[in-house]
Structure formats: C-alpha cells, structure tokens
Amino acid sequence: MLLQPITNPSKYVRYIVLLLSIWAFIYLFSPFNLRLDKNNPSYDDDNEANKGSSLSRQNICRPYSWKPYQPRQPSDPPRKIYDLVLVTTELDLLEVRLNTTWGAVDYYVLVESAKTFTGRNKPLLLQHALDSSSRFDAYKSKIIYHEAEYPEDFDPRPLTSGKASASASASESVSSSPWQDFHLNAMFDQVFPSLAAEPPTGNPSTHNPSLNSSSSISSRRPQTNDILLLSLASEIPRPQTLALLKECIFPARLTLSSKMHYYSFQFVRRPPWFSRTHEYGPGWTCQFCFPTLTEFLLINDGVNGMDQHHHRLGAGPFGEIDEMERDRIVRYVREGKDLWADVHEQQGGKKWVFEEVVNNTDVPSFLLESPEGKEGGRLRFLMERGGRSGGFRDYYL
C-alpha cells in the first residue's frame, strides 16, 4: 500500500463529520432499534387518558414509523406475546419481571440450563423453586418451563486455527460463545416446535411433559403475527413497550435498547455519546444485580459471556477467593466502581464510569409498590447497595 502525506486535512474532516452525521441519523431514526421518546404517546398503565378512544392506534404507532396492526380476519385470535427468558440464577429479577409485565405478557417461556456459558455445572435453581416452593405459584398459569437439552454431537470447542496448549485445562480451552449461542437458541429451537405441534383443541394426552405448564394447551399454541421477545433475565421490558408492540406492525427483528444498570438500579452506566435529554429506554437492564456473592461470582465466571473477568476477581479456583478480594468486591459494588477496569484498559478502552442515581424512581413498578423493595425488604438490594455489606446476604463482617 502506498502512503502519501495528507495535503488537504479539511477535506478529511468533512468526510468524518458526514460519516458521523449518517451514523447519528441511523441510530436516532432507525425502525430496527426501538427507543421510546417521553414526548411520544404510548400506553401507560398509570395513565387513564391513554386508554380511551381519543388516543388511536394510528397515533401510537406513527411516531415510530409503524402502521397499526390489523388482524386478517375478524375471527383471528388476538396476538400473543411470548416472553422467552434465559434464566441462570436471577430468581429475584425474574420475580420482578413477572410482576412488572404480567398484564402484558401471555406466556413466559423460561429456559434453564445445568451448565454455565463456560460449560461448568450449576444447579437448576428455578426448577427447584417451581417444584419445591410456593414462590412462583401465582405465576404458573403463564409459565412454560424447559431445561436445555444437549445433543450428543454438541461440540462447545471454539473454531479457531490455533491449537490450545497441552497444559491448558478443559475449561480454559472452551469458548463461552458456543455455550451462550446454544442456550439462547434453545429458547426457540427446543420449545416452539413442540408448542406448534399441539392440537388446536388441546388434548392433555398429547402434552409434551418437558414443557411444564398448567395453562391450557390450546391457548398457548403460537399463531402467525404472535410476538416473541428474546432476552436474559436481567433485561426487563416496560409493560408500555409490550403494549406498543402488540398494537403495531414493527420490523420482523427489532432491538429494544435500554439503560444499563450495574450492581443495582442505583448505578447506571452511560456511554459518552448517550443523550440524556429526550429519550428513555423501553426497558431496564440490571447486570450483576445479585443478592449474594456466590451468585455474583458464578455469573462472573462466564454465565453472561464474561469469563475473562473471573481472573480479575480472584486468583483462586472457581468460587474461591480470599478475604481481601471479597472485601474489595463488596466495596466496589457499594461505591459503584468498575470491578473490571484493568480488563477494559487491556482491551484498549477506558474504565467504565457508573453514575449514581439517588432515590431512583425509574425502576420496575413492583420495586416501588411492594414492601419487598422498601427499606428492610427482601429486594432492597436492587434499589441501593448501601451499608457495609453492600446488600450481599452472604457477606459477614
């Protein structure tokens, strides 16, 4: 390649400005990336004015360049929303999700795996809670539970040209991506073929026992134009967003962007380009929002595809860290600091900056309304990480 000195720098500046303008336009106005504007009309469970005839579906969908959904035939069944959730250990966030979106979701397809994203064994906490406790009894009418099944020919080894060191352990030579991709795909591939094969009238004798649900078989069979929402348990959609999707014709594949909270809803990570003036997300994301250090380390080991961070949080074997490292984790979580700053710098970036939102009210409504989210409540750690324990139940001073 022949390199020449730049003789007209202003020309290149104009090109850069043009490219940035095009990128900003695509980000702000693309119909494939939903971001709700506070000034746009939307469905709001607390706003009775939005439920009347004065606010038509046309007005609701137009701000997003969408058209209102119309069934092909008057006899067509209403659209259903299937909320496909990959659950690892986040039972508290799942409980918040069920309470927050209950009125908008028709069925929750909850998939759990006995393996982490790095192939380590882990307990089936959700299955145990469904079978052996009453915690989720109130929600079972909409829950379709499935344990991920692995085919005999499943090979989680990364497809790379290089060869792993002979001294490397099995877990070190396994990429998290194949496991993660498999678990995410299993939410559809292993569940919906069985649901689609169910007879329209519903016959209990043909019910697939691996898809545990107490709901009517006939009603849960998917139909054309039904909505599939694919996410992790840490990603909670707003009920207003789900109502909007149900009323409009949106792109076949749509991304819901949301604020990124870490440790609790007390801290939000804002990229430098994030606008703070005119938009709010169609949901909430709460990463590493766990009540115990045990769960925190399990997820950090790679359940969320972040296995490189495990070595940052302690040099010992999985789940084993010394007391000094435990104290550091709790302190960083309590103060809202980046636990993986060195990893981010090694990857050519900067350490993450978390902005503290004091007395945050932009949270799932269940946390504001339930005693569990208030001072002394079981879910208070999701609202703030105060106190010397940082809200961790298994950290003792």
Find the helix packing angle between 125-132 and 91-101, rounded to 10°: 60
* Spatial separation of the C-alpha atoms in residues 38 and 302, rounded to whole Å: 36
101-159 pLDDT tens trace: 999 999 999 999 988 777 778 889 999 999 999 999 999 999 999 999 988 887 776 54
* Strand-pair partners of 236: 284
d(CA 298, CA 10): 51
In the predicted model, what is the mean pLDDT of the chain? 75
One-letter-per-residue 3-state SS of 227-287: EEEEEECCEEECHHHHHHHHHEECCCCCEECCEEEECCCCEEECCCCCCCCCEECCEEEEE
Rounded distance between C-alpha atoms, residue 52 and residue 50, angstroms: 6
Question: pLDDT digit string (tens) for 185-233?
Answer: 889 999 988 888 877 644 444 444 455 654 554 588 898 899 999 998 9
What share of residues in the chain are helix, strand, coil (percent, to 5)? 35, 15, 50
Single-letter amino acid code for the residue at 10: S
Write the pLDDT tens digit of every residue in 63-72.
888 999 988 8
List pLDDT tens digits, range 249-283. 999 888 888 889 999 999 998 765 554 433 458 89
* pTM, rounded to two decimals: 0.76
Count Cα neighbours of 32 within 13 Å in the Cβ-side half-sphere.
Answer: 5
- What are the domain boundaries of the chain? 15-70+78-151+174-256, 258-397
What pLDDT is recorded for position 265? 96
Give the pLDDT confidence of 288-325 residue by residue, as tens digits: 999 998 888 877 665 444 444 444 454 444 456 678 88
